[in-house]
Amino acid sequence: MIILSLIVKKARVKALVKDKRAAMEAFGTYVESMAGDASSQPFLKKALRGVRAIICPNEGFLSDAGNLQGVKHVILLSQLSVYRGSGGIQSLMKNNAKKLAEQDESRLVASGIPYTIVRVGMLQNTPGGTQGFSFEKGSTEKGSLSKEDAAFICVEALGVIPPVGFTFEAANGEEKVSDWKQCLTRLMEKSEQ
């Protein structure tokens, strides 16, 4: 979803993929696909050469990423609030994902690179763009967000680089957003207070 949103915005995209041929069939020449071991420092150094911004949609990448030299902005899609809110058997099943999400967030905060952490509710396979949003603190613990909307928010966050770091919550809700740059700037200012 994120790659498709970037293609629509006509952004130059470099993607770490498991299967280069499948990525080529899916995205054609719109995406520079790189297949390799994401935990290998030489591979990551080569893959990140010339990269100014990273959108990280999965837990665990940043804990293995090592040096992010040259990167000017990292956007992390985090489901940490969902993992924190789960209990019982669900809590046991999601324990590893929770640990990875916590490691990613703390590593990103300590990196010194300007970052945006988008904490989302439970991700759903529903069409995006049909509902509004809720950015209220705590809305993600019980709320959900379509994967399409999550991808769209991450791509829009590329246009608003915080001076240091910025974390906000997003779930589907009532608020309609027509100007994402203005919305994200408002949320950033609110988080600094």
Strand partners, 74: 54, 115
| Confidence at residue 76, expressed as pLDDT on a 0 to 100 scale | 93
Is residue 132 in some structural domain?
Answer: yes
| Confidence at residue 25, expressed as pLDDT on a 0 to 100 scale | 94
pTM: 0.87
Is residue 61 in some structural domain?
Answer: yes
pLDDT tens for each residue of 70-123? 899 999 998 877 665 555 555 555 667 778 888 888 888 988 899 999 999 889
| Confidence at residue 179, expressed as pLDDT on a 0 to 100 scale | 94
The CB density around residue 88, as the number of other CB atoms within 10 Å, is 7
**Rounded-to-integer distance, Cα 105 and Cα 28, Å:** 32
Question: Strand 53-56's sheet: what is its strand order?
Answer: 53-56, 73-78, 115-120, 165-173, 132-134
Is residue 45 in some structural domain?
Answer: no
Is residue 102 in some structural domain?
Answer: yes
| Position with higher pLDDT, 28 vs 100 | 28
| Confidence at residue 1, expressed as pLDDT on a 0 to 100 scale | 81
| Confidence at residue 33, expressed as pLDDT on a 0 to 100 scale | 93
| Confidence at residue 94, expressed as pLDDT on a 0 to 100 scale | 64
pLDDT tens for each residue of 46-63? 888 999 999 988 877 776
Domain with residue 90: its CATH number is: 3.40.50.720
Is residue 42 in some structural domain?
Answer: no
| Confidence at residue 116, expressed as pLDDT on a 0 to 100 scale | 96
Residue numbers of the domain that contains 180: 52-192
pLDDT interval class at 41 (50, 70, 90):
confident
Angle at 57 between CA 52 and CA 63, to 5 degrees: 80
Is residue 31 in some structural domain?
Answer: no
Q: Are 175 and 133 in contact (CB under 8 A)?
A: yes
pLDDT tens for each residue of 125-142? 988 888 899 999 888 888
| Confidence at residue 21, expressed as pLDDT on a 0 to 100 scale | 93
| Confidence at residue 164, expressed as pLDDT on a 0 to 100 scale | 92
| Position with higher pLDDT, 69 vs 66 | 69
Is residue 27 in some structural domain?
Answer: no
| Confidence at residue 65, expressed as pLDDT on a 0 to 100 scale | 60
Is residue 8 in some structural domain?
Answer: no
Number of domains composing the chain: 1
pLDDT interval class at 154 (50, 70, 90):
very high
